[in-house]
Chain A
């Protein structure tokens, strides 16, 4: 069985690296994008669709909300997206869900939490 593919979208290289290390250790294949525009390009370009998106909100050029709204209009398989943000206010969450997120995590995220939610939303136990 091929590895499940996750696209991590964050303007911070540190955060991307962190997510990558955690998810790769859990057996996922990780790609990265540094803003919404690049993420959208990647989501549309790949032969094999991603299985999950991990999206930061506050990014230059195209933020996470706009990315999600755009993504949800594309003629590609619609897979779950997790928003990661430093804001924990209810309003921010609602806005993320409105834009088409399927989960909301507050940074920083513990590795096992991240993996747990990713596994659930991808629909598997994580072991490959």
Chain B
């Protein structure tokens, strides 16, 4: 499971593939106040990235990989 949904937190783990985009989108629609945990994320597919950009959810934790984090921080401006 590349995304674990627990209550109001969605944890993106390891490599998050394109198929996860739809589920994440639905989850964000039903949980407008949901937050994401990216700490375990090593890479996410552009489609998933796009959902996060459009949804702009709260980010609990950024990826450990500094390179990836820089991109995501720029893309997902925490509200």
Q: Do chains A and B touch in the complex (CB under 8 A)?
A: no
Using a CB–CB distance below 8 Å, which chain B residues touch chain A? none
Identify the A interface with B (CB < 8 A): none
